[in-house]
Structure 1
Amino acid sequence: MGMREAAPGPQRRATRADVARRAGVSDAVVTYTLNGGAPVARATAERVLQAVADLGYQPNQAARALKSGSAHTLGLILPDGPDPVFENPFFTEFANAVEAAARRRGYALYMTPTPPDQTSVVTRLNDFATRQVDGVLVVPGEGSLDPDVLDRIGIPWLQLNTVHEQVGVDSIGADLLGGAVLATEHLIAHGHRQVAFVGEIDEREPRYRGWLATCERLGVERGPALPSEYNRQSGYAAGLEIAAMDRPPAAVFAASDLIALGVLRALHERGVSVPDDVALVSFDGSWEAEYSWPALTSVRQPIEEMAEASVAAILDRTAPDERRHRMFRGELVLRASCGVHRPA
């Protein structure tokens, strides 16, 4: 009985020295070619890159990070709670835009849903710092983060989805008040003399204030104002209330797409037609708004622009105290729910 051949072991990973030998150059020239540390003649660089392809060489990112102090990665902390963050299409789309913006800069992105309290955020920042992540983008939960506490960790960070400017915080956010004004003006411009609101009923909430101020400024009846959390379930409950009214409002501004989706379902179940009986406009402009029925007219946040600005704010920061609040204005996207653009 013949001897069986030994099973092949794991193939050894190609090293930088292997690439250098195959290309006929020094280890340093391989490094310069791949990292851009110094100019390399085109013919030499082509030989190095061909050797990399032939050998399947992959640089050891951990070793590079230890040597350079940079892992060429960014972190993204998203608030995790009773409503899973990635069930919200806005956050899913925004995280995807941030990842694409980081990749264009040659950076990878780590994403982690985290309880929104400051202790949990600090723990995640410390985790990222030990991995030599170059900066962290933080979407806070309810309440503000203490910038002094986060700064002591020693890693650049930026706060996203921020409504109000906060001293000592570098931040980016959408113009919520301006978006509410835009949505409410649109409904009034098309002849509605009463516009209802569904969302957070709070004088500090920009979308509520924008709706309220616009109704008063243009002399239309405001209300009713129905409280809702920023999810489908609360929007559905508010929609049932609207459908049960003796005289439902002819127009509604919903403070988010998720709220509006809940309102849509409730009205549909109760036989209230959108837009024939109730015109509906929302805020966020997520992909889900485009594929609801009827499709939602919505104020779209400039997600791609905000993502690019977020990554640039972290990577191009030249001084630790170079901090400011950047606000981005949305765009009203017209679809069928407001009664202006009807489905074909």
Structure 2
Amino acid sequence: MSEAPERPTRKPTRRDVARLAGVSDAVVSYALNGGAPVAPDTRRRVLAAVAELGYRPNQAARALRSGSARTLVLAVPDRDDPVFANPFFAEYAAAIESAARERGYALYSTATSFEPDGLRARFEEFAARMVDGVLVLSSGAADRSAIDPVGLPWVDLNAPGARDGVASVGTDLRAGAERATEHLLDHGRTRVAFVGQLDDREPRHSGWRAACASRGVPPGRVYDGGYTRDGGYVSGLRIADEDDRPDAVFAASDRTAVGVLRAFHERGVRVPEDVALVAFDGSWEAEYTWPPLTTVRQPIEAMADAAVARVLDPAGERAHAEFDAELVLRASCGPHR
């Protein structure tokens, strides 16, 4: 005779947790979701009961009751060069997730077009999913007239400056570029080239140019390296093959500088003896090149914390938070004085 099949076990409820922990249903909710202070010993009893019973809150029901999924979205540009292939943005995203988690929110990332109609459609999708706010890595490109009517709080990341009515976070890129260039000039270099964007309105480009002008030194050549390793590599080959090559290079990103370093290595150009090099961003890979890169580090953790705090405070001021960058000295610029 075959055994009768086991009856399915009833899923534990919040009331079961409360009974085992010796507290009320409301205290279980406060301990798990916030909303009111709970004594540390009480919270520990609640969490122990949750673990013993295997209790799992119904997140969908909770979101419907509260109108909040306790979820943030990080929207990044959908492009051929994936954003997270850049170590700087990968580190930034990790810092944002940590800041969100500390406040009890989950973070999800998605790639999207920043064309106005497409971005608005994504915001409407986020609103339908009861997302609490969106962090938009648009570098100032997001059109507020397209997405403000949706009513979701949002913050623009990597913003180069203030825009009316937009909450944003960014680094003082121009000042950081000036400091990097001045450091090369302080090393006695007199022909400092720039590898980055050709547009002289871009803050790192304009900061490099301003630093040269303030010291009475003619700016060196500009090489179209963008923010990619490939762009830096091609630019580095051009520099290495020139008879009157510059004696220093300011690269607009760590990735660009990595490409420059490879090109110099292949052509036998010594760094820093022949050409000194300073980069921008301060990502982890800058420390592990050879020679290690002197770089201008953006304060990722502080920016991430400010961005999450702003998106969770929709009644707060819609303004730009600008952060200073730090020059991190390593071997690529030469001996430090």
Fold equivalence (TM over 0.5) = yes
Task: Indicate the residue corresponding to 1:260 in structure 2.
Answer: 257
* Preserved CA contact (<8 Å) 1:77 1:121: no
Alignment partner for residue 234 of structure 1, among 210, 231, 249?
231
Matched, 1:77 2:49: no
Alpha-carbon distance in structure 1 between the residues aligned to 2:211 and 2:288: 29
The whole-number CA distance in structure 2 between the counterparts of 1:180 and 1:294 is 21
Q: Deviations over 1:146-204 (max 9, x none)?
A: 21221111110010001132112111111110011000000001111111111112121
What SS class does the counterpart of residue 167 from structure 1 fall into? coil
Q: Which residue is equivalent to 1:96?
A: 94
Cα deviation for residue 30 of structure 1 reads: 3.1
Who is 1:136 aligned against? Answer: 134
Structure 2 residue runs without a partner (length 5+): none
Aligned match for 2:319, one of 306, 324, 328: 324
Amino acid at match of 2:230: Q
Query: CA 1:43/1:158 → structure 2, altered by over 3 Å: closer, same or farther?
Result: closer
Residue 170 of structure 2 corresponds to 173
Given that residues 77 and 137 in structure 1 are in contact (C-alpha distance below 8 angstroms), is that contact kept between their aligned partners in structure 2?
Answer: yes
Conserved in 2, the CA contact under 8 Å of 1:239 and 1:263?
yes
Deviations 1:201-236 (A, max 9, x none): 212111111111111110123211112221111111
Task: Figure out how many residues of one structure are paired with residues of the other and give that number.
Answer: 337
**Residue 293 of structure 1, CA deviation:** 1.3
Flag the 1:193–1:57 CA change in 2: closer, same or farther, 3 A: same
Shift of 1:46: 5.6
| Native 8 Å contact 2:292 2:331 kept in 1 | yes
How far apart are the structure 2 equivalents of 1:149 and 1:115? 13
- Secondary structure (helix, strand or coil) at the match of 1:221 reads coil
Distance (Å, rounded) in 1 between the aligned partners of 2:183 and 2:110: 38
Aligned counterpart, 1:306:
303
Cα pair distance change 1:11/1:238, threshold 3 Å? farther
Tell me the residue number matched to 2:50: 52
Residue pair 1:183, 1:299 contacting (<8 A) in 2 also: yes
2:207 equivalent in structure 1: 210
- Does 29-38 or 329-338 show the bigger shift? 29-38
CA distance, structure 2, for counterparts of residue 190 and residue 249 of structure 1: 14
Partner Cα distance (2:306, 2:267) in 1: 44
Alignment-mate amino acid for residue 206 of structure 1: P
Which residue of 314, 337, 341 maps to 2:332?
A: 337
* Structure 1 position 62, deviation (Å): 1.6
Letter in 2 for 1:100: S
Report the 3-state secondary structure (helix = DSSP H, G, I; strand = E; otherwise coil) of the residue aligned with 1:276.
coil
* Root mean square deviation, CA, Å: 2.3
Q: Is the 8 A contact 1:115 1:121 kept in 2?
A: yes
Gapped regions of structure 1 (runs ≥ 5): none
Q: Distance in 2 between matches of 1:287 and 1:232?
A: 15
Aligned to 2:181: 184
How far did residue 34 of structure 1 move?
3.3
1:66–1:241 CA distance, 2 compared to 1 (3 A): same
Note closer, same or farther for the CA distance 1:36–1:263 as it changes in structure 2 (3 Å cut).
closer
Question: d(CA) in 2 for partners of 1:44 and 1:270?
Answer: 66
